[in-house]
Structure 1
Amino acid sequence: MLAKVIGCSVTGVEGLLVQVEVDLAQGLPSFSTVGLAEGAVREAKDRVRAAIKNAGYSFPQHRITVNLAPAAVKKEGTGYDLPMAMGILAASGLVDGSRLERTAMAGELSLDGSVRPVPGVLPMALAACREGMDRLLVPAGNAAEAAIVRGIDVYPVERLDQAVELLAGRIALAPVLLDPAELFARHRDRYPVDFADIKGQEYAKRAMEIAAAGGHNVLLTGVPGTGKTMMARRLATILPDLTLEEAIETTKVFSSAGLLPEQEPLLVTRPFRAPHHTVSDAGLIGGGQVPRPGEVSLAHNGVLFLDELPEFKKHVLEVLRQPLEDGTVTIARASSSLRFPARFMMVAAMNPCPCGFLGDRIRPCTCTPLQVQRYRSRLSGPLLDRIDMHVEVPPVAVQEMLGQPEGEPSAVIRQRVNQARSRQRQRFAGTAGIHCNAQMSAREVKKFCRLDPASADLLGQSIARLGLSARAYHRILKIALTIADLAGAAMPDQSHVAEAIQYRRLQFDI
C-alpha cells in the first residue's frame, strides 16, 4: 500500500514542504529511506520503529520504502520522524489517508512515542500557510512559535498516539491561539541595561542616537575604560521598536538555528550579538558543511558588536564588506546556493594603540610609532570606508563622573528615534528595500537629500580638504539627513552638514 504525508523542512531560513511517500511491499522486512536523506534522517527508521511499537501499534513486517520529495533537495534534521511514522500507519490502514490531505506535520519522535521539539518550526508554519495547508501538527513545545502565523490551525501534539487519534477524529483538540500584540506589550521594554546608566560622554551618546535613528554603522575609538562597550551594549535599547514583520524575520533566523529562547515564541526586542574576536569567517558570516546562519544573520534587525576590532583576523573582517553593503549573505555550494538575511547595525570598538593609552592624559603610551602603525593597518581602508560614523570616546575623570546626574533613559531616547524613523518611512514609502537613511543608494541620496548652496559649499570644501572618497561623501549626506530628521527639518541645513562631517574625521587619524 502507498500513503502520502506532507512533512516540513527548512533550507537556510526558509520553510519547505516535503512530501513523504511510504510504500509497503511484500518481501523481507526492511526499512529504506531515499531522497537525499542525510544522517539524522536515515537514523529515523530506528526511532520510528520503536515509537510505533511503544505507542501501542503494530509495526508492519513488510518491505518499507520512504521517499522524500523533492528528491533533489538535501534532507536534514529529525523533523521527518512524525510524518514518516504517520505515513507507515496510514499505509497499514490505521489512519485514513483522506484525513492527511491539506495537513502538514513535523516533529522528532522519542523511543517511547513522545514528540520532541525541533528547530525551524516558524519557517515551516509560514511555508505550510503559503502552500494552502489547513492544519499543522507540531510538537507541543513548538506550538506557540507556529501559532504566530495567521491562516492555519496549529495543533500541539505530545505523543504519536495523540496525533493518530486527532487525525482519526476520535479526540478533539483545540488549535493554539496566540496574540502577537500581547507579546509585544509584555516584553517590548524587557532590556537588562539602560542608557541612563551612562554618565557623561554627551558627544558619544549623541552620536549613538544619530546612528540608531538612521541605522548607521559606528566605530568607537578610545582608551580603555571610557565606556565604549557600555554604550555599544545599550544601543539596542534605543533602536526603534520592532514591527511584527521585523519580529517574524528575526525569529525565523533564531528558530532555524535552534537558538530561539524557551518561553519566547516571538522575539519582540532587537537582537544584540557580540562574537569573540577568535570567531571564524564561517561563524561570522555563516556556512559550514550544512550552511547555517552566522552572527551577522543572528544580528538581523539588531546590533552586531565587534569589540577590540583590530584583534579580529583580517580575512574575517573583510568578508563583512558585502553584507554591510547588501544586507544579505549568499552561501554558495556546488549543490545549492542559500541566502541569509543580514540587515544589521555594526558597532565596533577599538583602542588607539596596542597598549591602549595613546592620547591618555594620565597614563603614558609605551608603543613605538611602528607598533601603532601595524596595529591600525589591521583595518583596511575599504572596511573603514563602509563604517558611517567614526566617534572618539574621551576618558571621563572619576570626580566628574560622580558629579554627573543620571542620563536620559533609553525609553526617552527611543521615542525620538521612533519619530525620526517615522519620517523616514514616509520618505521611502513605495521604495522597495529601503527602511532607513543608511540603506539609501547613491540614486536615493541624490533624490531625497538636496542641499542649499551654503551647505553644499561647506561639504565640498570639507571633501577637498580631508580627501574623502565618493562613498564617504554619500555617507555624510545620509548622516546629515538623519540629523535633520531628529530635528524635524525637511532637509539638512549647514549646521546638520557640519555635525555630520565631524563623524568622518577620525578615519584619517587611523
Structure 2
Amino acid sequence: MPIAKAWSVALLGIEGRVIEIEADLGGGLSRVTLVGLPDAGLREAKDRVRSAVRNSGQPWPDGKVTLGLSPANLPKVGSGYDLGIAAAVLAANGAVPATKLLRTILLGELALDGRIRPVRGVLPGLLAARAAGYQRAVVPSESLFEAALVDGLEVGGVSRLADLVAWLKDEGELEPSPEPSRTEPPEVPDLADVVGQPEARWALEVAAAGGHHLLLTGPPGVGKTMLAKRLPGLLPALSQEESLQVTAIHSLDGSLSKAAPLVTVPPFVAPHHSITVAALVGGGSGIATPGAISRAHRGVLFLDEVCEFSGHRLDSLRTVLEEGEVRISRVKGSVRYPARFQLILATNPCPCAPPRETDCICSPIVRRRYLGRISGPLLDRVDLRVRLRPLTAISAHESATPESSADVRARVLAARDRAAHRWRTHGWRANSDVPGPVLRREFLLPPPTTALLDRALDRGLLTARGADRCLRIAWTLADLSATPHPTPDHVAAALDFRERTAA
C-alpha cells in the first residue's frame, strides 16, 4: 500500500509544533478517513482537498484513503493543513515525486477550484518550523509579505495547487519571497498637542520611564484620552525579538498590514467598555484565540470610561498584570499568550461628570458607588494615580510652548538605560519588572529613606504590594533625576502618587 508524508505546523497559542501528515492508499470502497484529533473545519478538509485536486487536473486515488496527522493526541484546528494533505495524497498516488516534500513545511487552505487561500498564524508557524530545524516552507502567495520576516528559512509562495504540483515535478518555480518591508513606522500623536495638565504630563513621563500603570481621573474634555494616546510615542522602540513576538500575535489575530507587517512601535489597544471577557483576555471555542490584552503586548492597553466596564471584566486583569501572560484552558487544550502591557485607566469622577465640580448633582454615595466599580485589588496594582483639573484659560497655556514627545522621550530613554544597566545581571529591563523581594533584599534602601513607607504600612494606608510598587516608582524617579539611589523625597513623591484618590 503506497504511503507518503508531508509536514505542516499546529499552533497552540503562539507556540507551534510540526505536524507529520501521512497518506495511505488502500483498496475497498472509495472513501476518505481523517484521524488525529481534527476539529470541524479540518474534518471538512477531505472534501475541499478532493475537489481541489480534481479541479487542478490531477487524479484522485480510487479506494480508501487514510489521512493521519501526528502527533495524534495534539488537537488540530483550522484549514492550514489542506496544502500538506493534498501534497501527501498526490505523492502517495504517484502523481508527484516526494523528494522535495522532505524537510518542507506546507501551509495553506485550498479552495474547491484549486486556489490557495491565506491562513492566519503563518509567522508563528514558520518560526516554529525554523526552530525545529526545517529549511524550507511553501505558503500562499498572499502570505509572503508575512513569511518574509523569518530569517534563515527558504520560503516560496504558490497561488494555486497546480503551481505546487509543477514545482514538485521540477516543471516550475515557487514565487520568491520579497524583501522585508522597510517602511517608516506609523506616526504617534505628539505630547505637544496637550494643553496644560503639568501633573498628568509628569505622571505620563514617569509611567513611560518605569513601565508603570496609570489612572487618570477628571471631568470630560480635560485630555485624558489625548494623554493616553501619546504614551506609545514616549516608549522605546521594540527590539527585534519583541517585534517578532508582537507581530506573531497580530498574525494570529489576522490584523497584520501588508504595507508594514513588522510591528516596531508599541501597540495601542483601546477596547470599548462593552467588550466581553473572552474578547478582552482571549477565548473562544476549541483552542482559545488571543484577546485585546495580548494584542497590547509590549504596548499600551487603554480602558477609557473604565467605570463603565463591568466588575468581572476588570477583575479578569488582576493575575495578568502580575504575571505578564494569560493562560486559558479549554476542552481541547490549554494555551498561553504573552500579555505584558502598560495599563492606562481613565474615568470621570462621577456619573453626571459636569465640567466643574461645583455643578455636580451626585450624592457622595452615588460617587462612591461609581468609583467603587474599580475594585480595591485592581486599584492596588495601579502605580500612579492622577487627578486632572479643568482648564481655566486656554490663552495662558498657548503663550507657553509645551514639551514635545521627542524631548520627553529623550529623558525616558536615558532613565530606561540606567534601569537596564542596573538590572542587566537579572535580565530585567524596566523597574516595573523587578520583584518586590529583590528590592527589599539586594537593593534595600536605608531606614531613613523608607520611613514614610513604614509609617503608611503601620497605619494600614498601604498594602505590601503597594509598598513594593512605591519602591519601583522611587527607583524610576531616581533614574529620571540621574541619582544612583532613591532619596526620601523620591519615596515621598512615589507615595503621593499612590495616595491620590479619584474621589
TM-score, normalised via structure 2 length: 0.95
One-letter identity of the residue aligned with 1:55: S
Q: Which of these residues, 387, 391, 399, is aligned with residue 394 of structure 2? A: 399
Is the aligned partner of 1:319 residue 2:316? yes
Q: Which whole-Å CA distance do the structure 2 matches of 1:67 and 1:430 have between them? A: 47
Matches for 1:178-257 after TM superposition, within 5 Å: 178-179=179-180, 183=182, 186-188=183-185, 190-257=186-253
Q: 1:177 Cα shift?
A: 5.2
Q: 1:366 Cα shift?
A: 0.4
Counterpart of 2:155 in structure 1 is 154
Counterpart of 2:295 in structure 1 is 298
Counterpart of 2:421 in structure 1 is 426
Counterpart of 1:438 in structure 2 is 432
Is the aligned partner of 1:283 residue 2:279? yes
Q: 1:106 Cα shift?
A: 0.4
Secondary structure of residue in 2 paired with 1:503: helix
Is the aligned partner of 1:484 residue 2:478? yes
Q: Does the CA-based 8 Å contact 1:200-1:404 persist in structure 2?
A: no
Q: 1:111 Cα shift?
A: 2.2
Of 112-121 and 140-149, more deviation after overlay is shown by 140-149
Identity of aligned pairs, percent? 42
Matches for 1:448-459 after TM superposition, within 5 Å: 449-459=443-453
Q: 1:259 Cα shift?
A: 2.2
Q: Which whole-Å CA distance do the structure 2 matches of 1:369 and 1:74 have between them? A: 54
Counterpart of 1:382 in structure 2 is 377
Q: Which whole-Å CA distance do the structure 1 matches of 2:258 and 2:174 have between them? A: 23
Q: CA RMSD in A?
A: 2.0
Q: Does the CA-based 8 Å contact 1:126-1:149 persist in structure 2?
A: yes
Q: Which of these residues, 328, 334, 337, is aligned with residue 337 of structure 1? A: 334
Counterpart of 1:64 in structure 2 is 65
Q: Which of these residues, 341, 345, 348, is aligned with residue 348 of structure 1? A: 345
Of 394-403 and 140-149, more deviation after overlay is shown by 394-403
Q: Which whole-Å CA distance do the structure 2 matches of 1:399 and 1:106 have between them? A: 57
Task: Give unmatched runs, 5+ long, in structure 2.
Answer: none
Secondary structure of residue in 2 paired with 1:238: coil
Secondary structure of residue in 2 paired with 1:297: helix
Counterpart of 1:416 in structure 2 is 411
Of 105-114 and 421-430, more deviation after overlay is shown by 421-430
Q: Which whole-Å CA distance do the structure 2 matches of 1:399 and 1:271 have between them? A: 31
Q: Which whole-Å CA distance do the structure 1 matches of 2:411 and 2:168 have between them? A: 52
Q: Which whole-Å CA distance do the structure 1 matches of 2:116 and 2:414 have between them? A: 46
Of 145-154 and 84-93, more deviation after overlay is shown by 145-154
Q: Which whole-Å CA distance do the structure 2 matches of 1:172 and 1:357 have between them? A: 67
Secondary structure of residue in 2 paired with 1:235: coil
Task: Give unmatched runs, 5+ long, in structure 1.
Answer: none
Q: 1:327 Cα shift?
A: 0.5
Q: Which whole-Å CA distance do the structure 2 matches of 1:243 and 1:400 have between them? A: 41
Q: Which whole-Å CA distance do the structure 1 matches of 2:164 and 2:413 have between them? A: 46
Q: Does the CA-based 8 Å contact 2:212-2:342 persist in structure 1?
A: yes
Change beyond 3 A, Cα 1:406–1:121? farther
Q: Which whole-Å CA distance do the structure 1 matches of 2:396 and 2:266 have between them? A: 29
Counterpart of 1:54 in structure 2 is 55
Q: Which whole-Å CA distance do the structure 1 matches of 2:188 and 2:200 have between them? A: 21
Q: 1:124 Cα shift?
A: 0.5
Secondary structure of residue in 2 paired with 1:435: coil
Change beyond 3 A, Cα 1:33–1:198? same
Q: Does the CA-based 8 Å contact 2:478-2:490 persist in structure 1?
A: yes
Q: 1:458 Cα shift?
A: 4.0
TM-score, normalised via structure 1 length: 0.93
Q: Which whole-Å CA distance do the structure 2 matches of 1:406 and 1:164 have between them? A: 65
Secondary structure of residue in 2 paired with 1:293: coil
Q: Which whole-Å CA distance do the structure 1 matches of 2:128 and 2:360 have between them? A: 58
Q: 1:404 Cα shift?
A: 4.3
Counterpart of 1:97 in structure 2 is 98
Q: Which whole-Å CA distance do the structure 2 matches of 1:404 and 1:287 have between them? A: 50
Q: Deviations over 1:169-199 (max 9, x none)?
A: 33344742545xx63xx333x2252212112
Q: Which whole-Å CA distance do the structure 2 matches of 1:84 and 1:481 have between them? A: 56
One-letter identity of the residue aligned with 1:505: E
Q: Does the CA-based 8 Å contact 2:158-2:175 persist in structure 1?
A: no
Secondary structure of residue in 1 paired with 2:386: strand
Secondary structure of residue in 1 paired with 2:90: helix
Secondary structure of residue in 1 paired with 2:302: strand
Q: Does the CA-based 8 Å contact 1:166-1:172 persist in structure 2?
A: yes
Q: 1:158 Cα shift?
A: 1.4
Of 483-492 and 349-358, more deviation after overlay is shown by 349-358
Q: Deviations over 1:25-82 (max 9, x none)?
A: 1122212211111111111122212221222222222321111111112211111111
Secondary structure of residue in 2 paired with 1:171: coil
Q: 1:12 Cα shift?
A: 1.5
Change beyond 3 A, Cα 1:172–1:280? closer
Q: Deviations over 1:217-256 (max 9, x none)?
A: 0010111111111111111121111101111111111111
Q: Which whole-Å CA distance do the structure 2 matches of 1:149 and 1:7 have between them? A: 16
Q: Does the CA-based 8 Å contact 1:214-1:437 persist in structure 2?
A: yes
Counterpart of 2:75 in structure 1 is 74
Secondary structure of residue in 1 paired with 2:261: coil
Q: Does the CA-based 8 Å contact 1:449-1:491 persist in structure 2?
A: no
Q: 1:119 Cα shift?
A: 0.2
Counterpart of 1:502 in structure 2 is 496
Q: Does the CA-based 8 Å contact 1:187-1:269 persist in structure 2?
A: no
Q: Does the CA-based 8 Å contact 1:476-1:504 persist in structure 2?
A: yes
One-letter identity of the residue aligned with 1:80: Y
Q: Does the CA-based 8 Å contact 2:190-2:405 persist in structure 1?
A: yes
Counterpart of 2:19 in structure 1 is 18
Matches for 1:157-168 after TM superposition, within 5 Å: 157-168=158-169
Is the aligned partner of 1:474 residue 2:471? no
One-letter identity of the residue aligned with 1:222: G
One-letter identity of the residue aligned with 2:451: D
Secondary structure of residue in 1 paired with 2:500: helix
Q: 1:408 Cα shift?
A: 2.4
Secondary structure of residue in 1 paired with 2:359: coil
